[in-house]
Amino acid sequence: MDRGFEKNEVLEKLPSHLLDFVIDQPYNGYTSQDHAVWRYVMRQNVNYLGKVAHHSYLEGLKKTGISIDTIPHMYGMNRILKEIGWAAVAVDGFIPPQAFMEFQAYKVLVIAADIRNINHIQYTPAPDIIHEAAGHAPIIADPEYALYLKRFGEIGSKAFSSKKDFELYEAIRHLSIIKENPDTKESEVVEAEKHIEWLQANMGEPSEMSRIRNLHWWTVEYGLIGSVDDYKLYGAGLLSSIGESANCMREEVKKIPYSIAAADYSFDITTEQPQLFVTSSFQQLNEVLDEFASQMALNKGGEYALRTAIGSGAVASLKFGDLQLSGIIEEGELNEQFTWLRFGDRLGIFRDSGCLYLDEESEMDSVEVWIGKDAKNIKGSADAKYGFSLLELIPEEIDGPVVINHEDLGRHVFIIGDPELSGAYAGPADPKAWNLSFEPPKEKTLKINHSENAKRLHTYYNEVRNIRNQDGEVSRLMEIFEILKKDYPKDWLLPLEIYEILSKWELYPEYQTQIRACLEELKGNSKEYKKLITDGINLIEKDFNLIHQ
């Protein structure tokens, strides 16, 4: 496997159909301003989350090798993640929920390669490297939580989706892409949000996937742990957002004890959450997951499993004893004597030991399958349907489940075996034999074409970064500050970084006063900047006071 990313034992096990989503991390494409955005968010998060996050968060930052100062490189992350049995890959924005969960089942973190732009520094609905690397990665250092993520992936990837689920996924992906594009008109965003609202109001009967995604949202993304009166943050959406992590503590956000009831609480990615769920422990997460899994077609079997598989309209696998049948199921009938099924134009029959029978796609409309322990019962059902005897095609002396196909009679497969349907799940039983592949999303995340003016600003960010790393003349900071006042009067993050360096190194007090006054003026001119600048100054001056205590 050579996809331009660091290999480890975990990544080597990834099936080829998941590699369809993997991209090279565009590390050289990150600007110095992007690194400054990462650094600002991480400094604020570590300062604040040390008080309100689950203890494994700060420990996990160290264990997973995530730097506070620079955007992490996938190569470095994978060298460290392999020590705890995990890995990471870069992807292009949102990927389908089923694929996302299957990555989790293989203990692979999916990390969106993009980073939010400075205008969305507090929160973005788009998945980005801050959310994935700074939110998800640290918490998996906790073994019990890591087990929950893996098991969630194993179970969630088997859940049945509906066509509406996929429409909603595409609509959310579209919104996340256009919101991160600075050239998008406000009317386009409003239209996309209204489309999502309409879809959410017209989803019909919730699918297994939509309900388990709710559990994922209220735990993995927005989970709290403890009690409703005394809790800590562990959800990645909270750990990666300096806005959400503070807002969630407000009394207006209802705190509810976590239970399987959370599966019936839908969520909206475009707004703050009106309620959050508090689990008593990571062990409880696994207990609720088991409870949900027991209600899925995967484990319920029978008529429920058959109807759920048919209703999905997608490739599904049905379990009969040690046999598994895969394909798009169009019709079916279950009784004590035999099972009859009509598949679409392709059928795969698998046993634990491997593939027994696999149709290639053909021009035939469907495949008929009979399963029964008694050949006479199968014969009777076939006689009634087609009016001819098939008994001679089923040697009664054969013991055990055997597949017999006779193409001269059309597309008819007869199986001597256990006719009881014990379960059903989404996807083929053997993805490799099935030659499963995912078509990468048609709509790609937009790569911003920076103006020459923006590129020049980024060079100043780079200079300041180098000076902080003691590679450059400190006196240059004052020259850059004068340029910012003249040419980039609305930029607040770079003056903040200059102020931090001068304050930490106790240099040029008169310039410190000027820069602080400039930042105070920016605060007064913009509600948007007020909290960001205030929090930035407070952290700089807190660090200064700690040094001089």
- pLDDT per residue as tens digits for the range 141-193: 899 999 999 999 999 999 999 989 999 989 989 998 888 888 889 999 999 99
Ligand-binding site membership of 131 (annotated): yes
pLDDT-above-70 percentage for the chain: 88
d(C-alpha 378, C-alpha 373), whole Å: 8
Cα of first residue to Cα of last residue in the chain, in angstroms, is 54
The more confidently predicted of residues 267 and 441 is 267
CA 214 to chain centre: 13
Listed ranges 83-97, 328-342, 406-420, 449-463; the one with the highest mean pLDDT: 449-463
**How confident is the model at residue 368, as a pLDDT?**
76
pLDDT digits (tens, 9 = 90+) for 468-486: 999 889 999 999 999 999 9
Decide: residue 527, CB within 10 A, 0-12 exposed, 13-18 middle, 19+ buried: exposed
Residue 397 has pLDDT above 80, yes or no: no
pLDDT digits (tens, 9 = 90+) for 103-128: 999 999 999 999 988 988 887 777 88
**How confident is the model at residue 335, as a pLDDT?**
82
36-40, 343-347, 386-390: the lowest-pLDDT one: 386-390
The more confidently predicted of residues 404 and 367 is 367
**Residue type present at position 225:** I
**How confident is the model at residue 391, as a pLDDT?**
36
**How confident is the model at residue 379, as a pLDDT?**
56
Listed ranges 48-52, 76-80, 412-416; the one with the highest mean pLDDT: 48-52
Q: Mean pLDDT, to the nearest integer, of 221-243?
A: 94
pLDDT digits (tens, 9 = 90+) for 416-428: 677 899 999 999 9
The more confidently predicted of residues 236 and 415 is 236
**Residue type present at position 382:** A
* Spatial contact of 44 and 539, defined as CB atoms under 8 Å apart: yes
**How confident is the model at residue 227, as a pLDDT?**
97
How far is CA 294 from each of CA 300, 500, 513, rounded to the nearest angstrom? 7, 54, 64
- Pairing between strand 323-327 and 316-320? antiparallel
Listed ranges 95-99, 126-130, 183-187, 279-283; the one with the highest mean pLDDT: 279-283
d(C-alpha 11, C-alpha 33), whole Å: 31
Residue 384: pLDDT band with limits 50, 70, 90: low
The mean pLDDT value of the chain amounts to 87
Residue 389: pLDDT band with limits 50, 70, 90: very low
d(C-alpha 173, C-alpha 443), whole Å: 8
DSSP letter for 421, please.
Answer: E
Q: What is the dihedral of CA 260, 264, 266, 272, to 10 degrees?
A: -50
How far is CA 526 from each of CA 183, 204, 273, 454, 490, rounded to the nearest angstrom? 21, 43, 25, 21, 10
Give the sheet arrangement for strand 108-112, strand by strand: 22-23, 87-91, 108-112
Q: Count the neighbouring beta carbons within 10 Å of the beta carbon of residue 32.
A: 18
**How confident is the model at residue 365, as a pLDDT?**
67
Angle at CA of residue 72, ends 71 and 74, nearest 5°: 135
Ligand-binding site membership of 136 (annotated): yes
Q: How many CA atoms lie within 13 A of 2 on its CB side?
A: 0
d(C-alpha 13, C-alpha 8), whole Å: 9
**How confident is the model at residue 549, as a pLDDT?**
44
Residue 398 has pLDDT above 50, yes or no: no
Beta bridge pairs of residue 404 = 414
Structure tokens at 186: 């406000």
Ligand-binding site membership of 412 (annotated): no
Give the residue extent of every domain in the chain: 9-291, 300-434, 452-547
SS3 at position 544: helix
d(C-alpha 449, C-alpha 340), whole Å: 58
Fold of 9-291: Phenylalanine Hydroxylase (1.10.800)
Residue 503: pLDDT band with limits 50, 70, 90: very high
36-40, 238-242, 304-308, 440-444: the lowest-pLDDT one: 440-444
Q: Which of 539, 488, 544, 477 is nearest to 514 (CA)?
A: 477
d(C-alpha 101, C-alpha 216), whole Å: 10
d(C-alpha 83, C-alpha 77), whole Å: 10
pTM for this entry: 0.88
